[in-house]
Every structure is written in structure tokens, then in C-alpha cells.
């Protein structure tokens, strides 16, 4: 029997007992549906986190702080540190911020810049904005988040501020578009935003900047401006009017730029060098790593339930094919008497098992994609409407193909026992079977 004839015969035999086949396929369908849906959930959330990481900062940039050797355990009194500074206003909205850290000085920045693997270091200048307004209109509270190298903000209109220009530029969050008097996000692009800050004696200072774009909200604060270095410097200078120069070199953190692209090993080496020098360095992906670990853990648990369903389905395959072997005993004997080898008989029943797995996995994947897409779209418009860009359930073709192949492999293994029994059948005894 040719291979094509073998496949055609296996396909026809699969539906000899339609009820039994449908029930077996449905059992496989449950596992395939669950696996596809849970993997889609993990893919969608992790993709959103990855997009957010790229919008907050680059993997080649580390946020460096000074290691606090005098920190007390949680809940215990802590010794006073005259060099401690607040980090609350440093890159607002970025995860991982602490209340106070030991201050970095210009001397620290020079030391960090000499460490192997670091190309340059820039301090993060804490800026506290009083309010923002447009054309003397209503005033609204906002915070400042600096633009660092490798940052690619998610925009609804316009462009990200230019980090290389001396012009004062900013991108405003989408939540401030309507309050500031703009018709839509596109209308805000090109307008002048007035940013007010106060110096230590509460004298207000107004700084005008050009709005280059409008950012989507994600993990960052819904009222956080994205400023370019020129605007950050202007606001920092205005805020510290009258402060002695020797008091200005106190920073909560700094951005250490690595050679791009940096490998994971190179990043780890730089982190180790920083630790040895008395500093700590974290990338944005490090700070969001906990979120991904939790999501991956949840997906793993859900996948475990899907695997249990597939194991139950595999017993259904064994039962289906064993009954098929018993019902077709005389047919098996006839095929072997006509010269069909044991290997071909084994292949025939194995193919039937694989086809059961293929049917269940394909139907499960198709239904899961349809349900997942509809649910994701609905949740994106309702429950997660404040997280633009989030597709809760996203499907990766490679993942779906891998799931399908894995289920077919499980079906093949489940069909091995009945296939072996059929292959070992004695043709004479089989022909005598009633």
C-alpha cells in the first residue's frame, strides 16, 4: 500500500464510528483550546510589557544609584544620612523608585564613567513641576519624566522630543489634551506649553516648551510629561535659582549608557562592576521582570490544567483505537494475509491517532483564536480602556504550531499501544475471529 493510500485509508477509518470519534476529538479540543488561549494570554501581556519597556527606556541604559550601606531592616529605625535625597520626583512613573537614596555627586559620576563597559553617564535631575498651561488657560498638575537614550515613547500623535536639540521640547500625555483646550491629539502638536516651577524661596518661574507629540498612557503616570534633555536642564536650572553651585551636584540617580547593542553578558558584567564599586544598576526590564515572572507563573499553572485535559484525552484515544482494533480484527488479518507488513499496519493505526490529535488541536486553536480575539477586543474597550495598546490575548503562529505538533505527538504516543497490538496480530488467528 502506497503512503498516499495509507493516509487516505487512515482518514476514512477515523470516521468509521462517528460518535466515538467526535467524543474523542472533543476531549482533545478542550486541552487544545485551553493551551492556545492561555499561551495567547501570556503572549499578549508579555508583548505589552515589552512594548512598555521600550517606551520607558532601553536595555542598554542602566539606572544607577549609590548602594546604601546603612539601610535598616524594614520596620526598624534608620540612621540619619545627611547625603540622602528623595527619589520620588526622579523619572516619575517609572517602577522601582524608593523614597530616599544616598546622593550621587559629580565625583561619583566621573567614577562610574571609568568603569569598563560604560560609555557615558548623565545625572537624572529631579524636577518638581507646579503646573502646566496653554495660552494662559486653566492650570493642571503634571510631573516630569526625562527622555533617555533608547526610549521610544508610544505616541498617539506627533513625534517624540528630540534628545539632541537645544530647543525646549516635550510630549504631553493623552489625558491632558482635552483639559488643556485642544480639540484632539493632533491639534496639540506644535503648540506652546508653559511649565511652571518654583525655586527654594517659592518664586515661580515659567518655561515655555514646544509640544512635539502626545503619548499614550501605560505604566507611566497619566500626567507625566516626556521632556528632552534641554527642557529638563532649563527646568532644573529655574527650580534651583539661588542655590549655591556646590549644592547642585546631588542626584538621586544617573543613567549609565552602555555600548549598543549590549549583550546580556555585557550588561551583567557592568552590573557586577557597579556593585563592586559601591553602586547598583538596574535596567527597566529588571524592574518589570517581576511582572513577567508572575504572568509566566500563572500561564504555567493554566497550561498544567490543559495538559491534564490532554492526558485524559489520550486515554480516550487509546480506548477508541483499541475498540477499533478489536472491531477490525478480521480486516487486519486480511490485510496481513495479502502481504501488508506489520510496519504498515502500525503506521495505519498510528496515523489514525495522529489525525484525531490534528482534528482536535486545529478545531481547538481556531475556536480559541476566535474567542480570544473577541474577548480581548471587548476588554480593551471596557475594563482595560486606560491601558492603550494592550491586547490582552495575542496569538503567536509559532506557539500555535508548536501546540498543534505537541498534541499530535501525544496522540501518536497514545495510539502506539493499539497500533502495536494490531501490528502483532496473527493473520490466521485474525481471520478466524468472530
Tell me the pLDDT tens digit for each residue of 318-329: 887 777 777 777
Instruction: State the helix-helix crossing angle for 397-423 and 18-56, rounded to 10 degrees.
Output: 150
3-class DSSP state of 139? coil
pLDDT band at 289 (very low <50, low <70, confident <90, very high): low
Same domain for 239 and 380, yes or no, is no
Same domain for 38 and 96, yes or no, is no
pLDDT at 169: 94
Q: Looking at residue 189, which CATH number applies to its domain? A: 2.40.40
Mean pLDDT of the chain: 81
Nine-digit cell at 343?
510496519
Q: Which of 250, 274, 305 lies at the terminal end of a domain, its last residue? A: 250
CA-derived radius of gyration, the chain? 32
Same domain for 420 and 299, yes or no, is yes
User: For 373-395, how does the pLDDT look when each residue is reduced to its tens digit (9 = 90+)?
Assistant: 999 888 878 877 766 667 888 88
Same domain for 22 and 85, yes or no, is no
Range of the domain at 228: 127-250
Same domain for 168 and 313, yes or no, is no
Q: Which of 228, 260, 282 lies at the terminal end of a domain, its last residue? A: 282
Same domain for 311 and 239, yes or no, is no
Nine-digit cell at 146?
526625562
Helix residue ranges per DSSP H, 240-396: 264-276, 284-327, 329-337, 342-381
pLDDT band at 88 (very low <50, low <70, confident <90, very high): very low
Distance between alpha carbon 314 and the CA centroid of its chain, in Å?
Answer: 33
Among 11, 14, 19, 48, which Cα is nearest to 379's?
48
**Count of the separate structural domains present in the chain:** 3
Same domain for 294 and 428, yes or no, is yes
Angle value at C-alpha 97, between 77 and 261, nearest 5 degrees: 135
Among 352, 372, 345, which Cα is nearest to 427's?
345
Same domain for 333 and 261, yes or no, is no
Same domain for 294 and 420, yes or no, is yes
Among 64, 148, 53, 116, which Cα is nearest to 266's?
116
Same domain for 168 and 202, yes or no, is yes
Give the integer Cα–Cα distance in Å for 383 and 422: 55
pLDDT at 182: 95
Place of cell 471587548: 378
pLDDT at 71 over 80: no
Same domain for 197 and 307, yes or no, is no
Is this structure's pTM higher than 0.75? no
Same domain for 164 and 88, yes or no, is no
pLDDT at 45: 78
pLDDT band at 212 (very low <50, low <70, confident <90, very high): very high
Amino acid at each position: 500500500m502506497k503512503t498516499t493510500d495509507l493516509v487516505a485509508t487512515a482518514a476514512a477509518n477515523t470516521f468509521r464510528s462517528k460518535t466515538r470519534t467526535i467524543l474523542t476529538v472533543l476531549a482533545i479540543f478542550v486541552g487544545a483550546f485551553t493551551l492556545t488561549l492561555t499561551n495567547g494570554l501570556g503572549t499578549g501581556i508579555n508583548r505589552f510589557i515589552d512594548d512598555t519597556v521600550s517606551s520607558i527606556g532601553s536595555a542598554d541604559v542602566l539606572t544607577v544609584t549609590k548602594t546604601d550601606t546603612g539601610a535598616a531592616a524594614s520596620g526598624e529605625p534608620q540612621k540619619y544620612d545627611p547625603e540622602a535625597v528623595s527619589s520620588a520626583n526622579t523619572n516619575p512613573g517609572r517602577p522601582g523608585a524608593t523614597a530616599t537614596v544616598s546622593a550621587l555627586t559629580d565625583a561619583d559620576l566621573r567614577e562610574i564613567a571609568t568603569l569598563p563597559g560604560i560609555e557615558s553617564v548623565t545625572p537624572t535631575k529631579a524636577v518638581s513641576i507646579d503646573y502646566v498651561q496653554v495660552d494662559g488657560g486653566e492650570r493642571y498638575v503634571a510631573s516630569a519624566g526625562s527622555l533617555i537614550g533608547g526610549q521610544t515613547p508610544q505616541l498617539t500623535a506627533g513625534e517624540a522630543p528630540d534628545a539632541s536639540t537645544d530647543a525646549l521640547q516635550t510630549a504631553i500625555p493623552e489625558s491632558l489634551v482635552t483639559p488643556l483646550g485642544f480639540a484632539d491629539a493632533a491639534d496639540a502638536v506644535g503648540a506652546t506649553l508653559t511649565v511652571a516651577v518654583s525655586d527654594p524661596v517659592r518664586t515661580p518661574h515659567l518655561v515655555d516648551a514646544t509640544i512635539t507629540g502626545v503619548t499614550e498612557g501605560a505604566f507611566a503616570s497619566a500626567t507625566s510629561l516626556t521632556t528632552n534633555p534641554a527642557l529638563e536642564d532649563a527646568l532644573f536650572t529655574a527650580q534651583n535659582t539661588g542655590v549655591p553651585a556646590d549644592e547642585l551636584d546631588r542626584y538621586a540617580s544617573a543613567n549609565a549608557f552602555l555600548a549598543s547593542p549590549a549583550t546580556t553578558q555585557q550588561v551583567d558584567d557592568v552590573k557586577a562592576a557597579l556593585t563592586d564599586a559601591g553602586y547598583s544598576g538596574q535596567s527597566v526590564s529588571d524592574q518589570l521582570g517581576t511582572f513577567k515572572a508572575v504572568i509566566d507563573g500563572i500561564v504555567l499553572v493554566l497550561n498544567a490544567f490543559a495538559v491534564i485535559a490532554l492526558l485524559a484525552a489520550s486515554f480516550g484515544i487509546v480506548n477508541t483505537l483499541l475498540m477499533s482494533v478489536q472491531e477490525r480484527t478480521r480486516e487486519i488479518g486480511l490485510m496481513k494475509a495479502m502481504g501488508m507488513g506489520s510496519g504498515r499496519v502500525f503506521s495505519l493505526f498510528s496515523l489514525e491517532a495522529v489525525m484525531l490529535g490534528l482534528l482536535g488541536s486545529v478545531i481547538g486553536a481556531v475556536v480559541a483564536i476566535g474567542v480570544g480575539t473577541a474577548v480581548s477586543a471587548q476588554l480593551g474597550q471596557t475594563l482595560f480602556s486606560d491601558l492603550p495598546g494592550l491586547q490582552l490575548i495575542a496569538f503567536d503562529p509559532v506557539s500555535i504550531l508548536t501546540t498543534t505538533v505537541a498534541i499530535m505527538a501525544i496522540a501518536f504516543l497514545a495510539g502506539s499501544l493499539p497500533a502495536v497490538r494490531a501490528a502483532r496480530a496473527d493473520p490466521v488467528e485474525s481471520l478466524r475471529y468472530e
